[in-house]
Amino acid sequence: MSAPVILNLIAFAGVIVALSRLRGPRITLSRRILAGLIAGVLFGLALQLLYASQAQIIDDTLVWTGVIGSSYINLLRMIITPLVLVMMIAAVVRMQDVAALGRIGGMVIGILIGTTMIAALVGISVTRLFGLSAESLTRGAREMESARDLSSQYAEFGDLGLADMLVRFIPSNVFLDLTEARPTSIIGVVIFGILFGIAALGVSRENPERGRAIREFIDTAQAIVMKLVQMIMALTPYGILALITRVVAGSDASDILNLLGFIAASYLAIAIMFGVHATLLALSGINVIHYIQKVWPVLTFAFTSRSSAASIPLSVETQIDALNVPPPIANLAASFGATIGQNGCAGIYPAMLATMVAPSMGVNPMDPSFIAGLVGIIAISSFGVAGVGGGATFAAFIVLPAMGFPVTVAALLISIEPLIDMARTSLNVNGSITAGVLTGRYLGAPGAQASPAR
């Protein structure tokens, strides 16, 4: 390890110590997360400026700072499936009404898919507004190498039909799904948790004494899991610090400049969809300013981690504790939102790519039949595929061939994917929280506070 790297790590440790001393009744976790975000940006920029011509020093530094960021992500992933399983079982047992579960799940999924279709329309409109086309992208050696790699991965996902995707949702081995071995493992755990909860309800009705024991056991398990979540959430400022440092210090300015038009269009589309979410909340009588204040730590984490699944614990906790969404709804919204109807990855991104490719294939991207077909395919493909790592790319692998278009355009954007994917992930998570808040507003749940605080 070289002397500059050692000095960088000593400075990074100093930042961690400074963050740890931000204590007091007025310094909330949200403010500490913001401090970690700002510190990470500044530290990353310092690395870029000090070692602009010494990329190896930056890389060596990020290897060690990444230990904290990667460990934090691993801790979150560790608790995802236990949290989802326990919370889903608890949600069903407390609901006491299977019909209510169906209504809640239907509304959550309906909102997720509906907003994804709107996101597709936004992606089409913004692409045309900026005049983006596939021919305008620069084909570099790195992008063409990515095209070959992605084409080999495409073989696994490109031929999936709707029936195949639906079958993948049903778990054949719940222990396998608890390890997140499949792209649709989260949905598999949700389904098992719902069935387990329904079975527990049946036992409770047949034997009230066992029913009380079941509820006590589930309450205890839920309390333990939530305490574990709180312990890991306390590490969020340090995780954010390490993650945003990697993002800022590891960005390639030349890649960003070459594809600046696509980046700007993507962020505009994402901003518009955030506006759509806010409008839906406002029309439902929700205080949007209050909502933003409560969810921004979740969105910040999603932005830096680029993982909707890893954001589930923080999303559930925020919906229940800060927005007063009933636990059954919060768990369904967070779990389904990590795999179904992701507005950014499954909505905006494939719509933009298809619209960019269409002219080169002799298709008018403003033809109503093209738009209707594209939006319909995006709605169907958003089931399950977006939950895969690199979900936006795999969503494009489903949509583009379904439209008769080549998939290589996805590889041309691979160098700037992390920069755009951060905002897309935040939008995905905000979409799932919005679905939870709106469902809680209109349906509520037995035995829980039904409307979010204002």
Q: Tell me how far apart the alpha carbons of residues 371 and 351 are, in angstroms, rounded to a whole number.
A: 9
Amino acid 168: pLDDT: 72
Look up residue 310 and give its two tokens: 């890893």
The answer to whether the CB of 329 falls within 8 A of the CB of 436 is yes
**What confidence score (pLDDT) does residue 118 get?**
96
**Whole-model pTM above 0.75?**
no
Cα separation of 408 and 146, whole Å?
Answer: 9
Residue 55: how many other CB atoms lie within 10 Å: 13
Q: What is the DSSP-derived secondary structure letter of residue 358?
A: G
The domain locations on the chain are 3-442
The neighbouring-strand residues paired with 340 are 383
Cβ neighbours around 218 below 10 Å, total? 21
329 within 8 A of 95, measured Cβ to Cβ? no
- Please choose, from the candidates 122, 188, 154, the residue with its C-alpha nearest in 3D space to the C-alpha of residue 384: 188
- What is the pLDDT, as a whole number, of residue 139? 46
**pLDDT tens, residue order, the chain (454 aa):** 788 899 999 999 999 999 988 887 777 777 888 888 889 889 988 998 888 788 889 889 999 998 998 898 888 778 878 877 887 787 777 665 556 777 888 899 899 999 999 999 999 999 999 888 776 554 444 444 444 454 444 444 445 555 666 677 788 888 888 887 776 677 788 788 888 988 988 898 899 889 889 889 988 988 898 788 778 878 888 988 888 888 778 766 655 555 678 889 999 999 999 999 999 999 999 999 999 999 998 998 888 877 787 788 889 889 999 999 988 888 888 888 887 788 988 899 999 999 988 888 888 989 998 999 899 888 877 775 544 445 676 677 778 777 878 766 665 565 566 678 889 989 999 999 999 999 999 886 443 333 444 4
User: Among 1.10.3860.10, 1.10.287.130, 1.10.3680.10, 3.40.50.10860, what is the CATH number of 3-442?
Assistant: 1.10.3860.10
> For 345, which DSSP code?
I
Q: Which pLDDT score, from 0 to 100, does residue 427 have?
A: 94
CA distance linking residue 93 with residue 113, whole number of Å: 27
Predicted local distance difference test score (pLDDT) of residue 184? 66
Residue 43 CB neighbour total at 10 angstroms: 22
